[in-house]
Amino acid sequence: MKSGDTRTWQATAVVCSVLLLAASLGAFAVDLGSARPNPVAYEDTVKLGLAAETEQVAEHEGASIPRVEVFYSQYRYVVGYTGVGQALSALDDPGREQQFGYPLAVYASDYAGRSPRCANDGTLVTTTNPDWVSVTEAQFVVGSDAQVAGHPVVVPFSSPADAAAFADDCGGRVVDWETLRRDPPTVTGATGVKSQVDDRRTSADRRVDMAQSLLDREVSVVVGRDAPTIQAAVETAPPNTTVLVPGGRYEEHVVVNRSLTLRGPGARLSGGGNGTVIDVRADDVAVTGFAISGVGNATRATNGGVEGSTDWDAQIQRGYGGGDAAVAATNVSRLYVRNVTVDTPSNGVLLRRVPGAVVDDIAVNGSAEWLDGFMGVIAMNDAVVVQDSRITGGRDGVYLHRAPGTVVRNNTFLDQRFGVHLMYTSETLVADNVARGQEASGVVVMTRPSGNAVVGNDVRHANGGIFVGGSHSYVADNVAVDTDRGMVAYATQTTFEGNVLYENRVGFAASTVVPSNRVVANDFVGNDRHATAGPGPLRIFTHEGRGNYWEGAYDTSLDGDVTLDRAYSPTDPLDRRLHRTDAAVTLSSAPTIRGLRALRGTTPGFRKASIVDTAPLARPANPELLANARNETATGAGA
């Protein structure tokens, strides 16, 4: 048999398999009638809603979190929402019925008889855990002082009298379910994050401008002329002045305990391979112009400077926040590290509780093996701006832990485990960075944060591209080239748009059990497989009549149309071969195949673990970005 005949035979076999599958699934949409399932323990649900940090803080503070669980007619799992507002947002989503069917039952936490109250700071607390009540039988207190980890909450009750009593104590008003649905609480979604991207850039610009003003201080002490060592100069200099360190080699550790600028044009500072080299213990400090080496090799510490801490993350603080660094600061404000070169077996810059910190135009050379080193820049507990820097080697380029509002932009990350690594960190901007050669991925967002924006990044020749967890985030205008998986969506209620996935083994991996993301106007070109899906119902990669560009998903009768005249499924055994196998292109036009495709997206749950684009684009949505992806020299900012 000729090779071409073999390909045709294989493709025909695939068609037969698909047709048999269609016959067996023709009546998949089952109406369960009026039966209403009983509520389950919240731990047994698939959870959506609050960021993991918010839940951790809430539980640590003894707060009670109002929750909702929904049973859908065409979804095998019960979906749990932390927050009534989150549930309302999901129930009102236009694509909900197509993917999940209709809600068979909706239950909310019932605070009736549980003595709920607002603590002094507004935290919702209760004597015992709430039970469940059907939302149609509940009363809801809205607009009260009740909050969880700083977030206002809606509090449900099965008893109108208990709801009224709570409103008398904590404020707010009592409404029923239908009234609440007509006027739901505001939930910041991915669309809101998209509108905030420019504001986050502007906010970072302001922070950088404020930090740069620290470089304008007059020189008060010159090392070698007015003081024998850098440390002696620091102890001599008046606050709010500059210590000038002339070019040369200096062997010492420096503790900066007053507001000063250390300027070392051409100065080489070594810590002798022991401990942190520059330890900042004062507000409003700037360090610029140094080449720092001889950093100690401790990447962990037994105490991390948080002895006696009762925070829920104290163990993480000790493990990650207490190693050696070229420059380290704890519990101070407004530190500016600029134009510094670091050779380190551990951390480059370590920041813990340092609001207003800016790391600008630095070069960090870490360990060749990522397991041997640590972080280029690590920030914990407060926002930082990291920009225009180049970090090579080590474990992670930038590691963030509980540092909401951080901006990481215009940097280059080479040969780490992760280029940018977010842990319990929400509302950040990760923009216009270049990542190459990562063992794991160029950008990774972990531990269910919310409201992050990952835009304009360029990841190539890494094991993984951009992995996004959490919820309500915006992932746009990124490029992933030559990776095992270009983009992985662990996230929920997140928008992925305008991205280019080029020549990856898998372009996009939809890994969440609940398919609540918006995936639109992305370009899938040259991937071995354009997209894959994990367990769960049908995922619709179309929004408001517009889909994505899938190389190979073309028709012979375009005539200038913007979208194709048939749906495309990158998980379909035939469609996924269209850009790889000639026979697949021929068979795709067969009447039987066209008839089968017409069913896609019309029946909730049709063909599990699958993706369908009901309006695929006839041509790339991002032609300039795609051209850059094809051009290896177009590596983006900072490369």
410: CATH:
2.160.20
CB 328 within 8 A of CB 306: no
User: Is position 307 within any domain?
Assistant: yes
Higher pLDDT, 12 or 521: 521
Rounded to whole angstroms, the Cα distance separating 202 from 581 reads 48
Helix (H) or strand (E) holding 11, with range, is: helix 3-24
- For residue 170, the Cα-to-chain-centroid distance in whole angstroms is 34
Predicted confidence band of residue 20 (pLDDT cuts 50, 70, 90): very low
Domain closes at, from 164, 187, 210 = 187
Predicted confidence band of residue 514 (pLDDT cuts 50, 70, 90): confident
For residue 382, give both structure tokens.
């407060």
> Average pLDDT of 271-276?
97
Half-sphere exposure of 61 (CA within 13 A, CB side): 21
CA distances from residue 239 to 178, 220, 227, 243, 283 in whole angstroms, order as listed: 62, 9, 16, 10, 10
Tell me: the pLDDT tens digits for 60-109? 778 899 999 999 888 888 999 888 988 888 888 777 777 778 899 999 99
Q: What percent of the chain has pLDDT over 70?
A: 84
Give the domain range for residue 168. Answer: 42-187
User: Is position 23 within any domain?
Assistant: no
Q: What is the mean pLDDT of the chain?
A: 86
Rounded to whole angstroms, the Cα distance separating 125 from 146 reads 9
Question: What pLDDT, on the 0 to 100 scale, is given for residue 636?
Answer: 42
Q: Residue 119 class from Cβ within 10 Å (0-12 exposed, 13-18 middle, 19+ buried)?
A: middle
Residues 143 and 230 occupy one common structural domain: no
Residues 163 and 215 occupy one common structural domain: no
> Average pLDDT of 397-420?
97
Residues 460 and 406 occupy one common structural domain: yes
Question: What pLDDT, on the 0 to 100 scale, is given for residue 537?
Answer: 74
Dump strand ranges (E) for 29-78: 46-48, 67-72
Question: What pLDDT, on the 0 to 100 scale, is given for residue 349?
Answer: 98
Residues 171 and 292 occupy one common structural domain: no
Worst-scoring range by mean pLDDT, 76-85, 123-132, 195-204, 258-267?
76-85
For residue 620, give both structure tokens.
């790339």
Question: What pLDDT, on the 0 to 100 scale, is given for residue 302?
Answer: 47
> Average pLDDT of 107-112?
97
User: Is position 487 within any domain?
Assistant: yes
Question: Looking up tokens 């969440």, which residue turns up?
Answer: 512
Q: Name the residue type at position 611.
A: I
Rounded to whole angstroms, the Cα distance separating 355 from 132 reads 42
> Average pLDDT of 233-262?
98
Rounded to whole angstroms, the Cα distance separating 574 from 18 reads 9
Question: What pLDDT, on the 0 to 100 scale, is given for residue 249?
Answer: 97
Residues 89 and 217 occupy one common structural domain: no
Closest to 304 in 3D by CA, of 381, 231, 363, 369:
381
Asked whether residue 605 carries a pLDDT value surpassing 70, the answer given is no
Residues 125 and 214 occupy one common structural domain: no
Residues 483 and 621 occupy one common structural domain: yes
Residues 447 and 473 occupy one common structural domain: yes
User: Is position 196 within any domain?
Assistant: no
Q: Residue 121 class from Cβ within 10 Å (0-12 exposed, 13-18 middle, 19+ buried)?
A: exposed
Question: What pLDDT, on the 0 to 100 scale, is given for residue 319?
Answer: 82
Domain count, the chain: 2
Residues 208 and 176 occupy one common structural domain: no
Question: What pLDDT, on the 0 to 100 scale, is given for residue 25?
Answer: 31
Asked whether residue 18 carries a pLDDT value surpassing 80, the answer given is no
Q: How many CB atoms lie within 10 A of CB 184?
A: 17
Residues 487 and 525 occupy one common structural domain: yes
User: Is position 28 within any domain?
Assistant: no
> Average pLDDT of 176-185?
93
Residues 287 and 371 occupy one common structural domain: yes
Predicted confidence band of residue 14 (pLDDT cuts 50, 70, 90): very low
User: Is position 405 within any domain?
Assistant: yes
- Assign residue 526 a region (left: φ > 0; alpha: ψ between -120 and 50; beta: otherwise): left
CB 584 within 8 A of CB 578: yes
Domain closes at, from 159, 187, 215 = 187
Contacts of 559 (CB under 8 A, 6+ apart): none
Q: What is the dihedral of CA 389, 205, 234, 263, to 10 degrees?
A: 50
CB 450 within 8 A of CB 473: yes
> Average pLDDT of 47-58?
71
> Average pLDDT of 346-358?
97
Residues 245 and 140 occupy one common structural domain: no
Q: How many CB atoms lie within 10 A of CB 202?
A: 10
Tell me: the pLDDT tens digits for 457-510? 999 999 999 999 988 899 999 999 999 999 999 888 899 999 999 999 999 999
CB 170 within 8 A of CB 153: no
CA distances from residue 365 to 232, 343, 346 in whole angstroms, order as listed: 29, 5, 10
User: Is position 22 within any domain?
Assistant: no
> Average pLDDT of 286-294?
98
Question: What pLDDT, on the 0 to 100 scale, is given for residue 2?
Answer: 40
Rounded to 10 deg, the angle between the 591-598 and 3-24 helix axes is 40
User: Is position 98 within any domain?
Assistant: yes
Question: What pLDDT, on the 0 to 100 scale, is given for residue 173?
Answer: 96
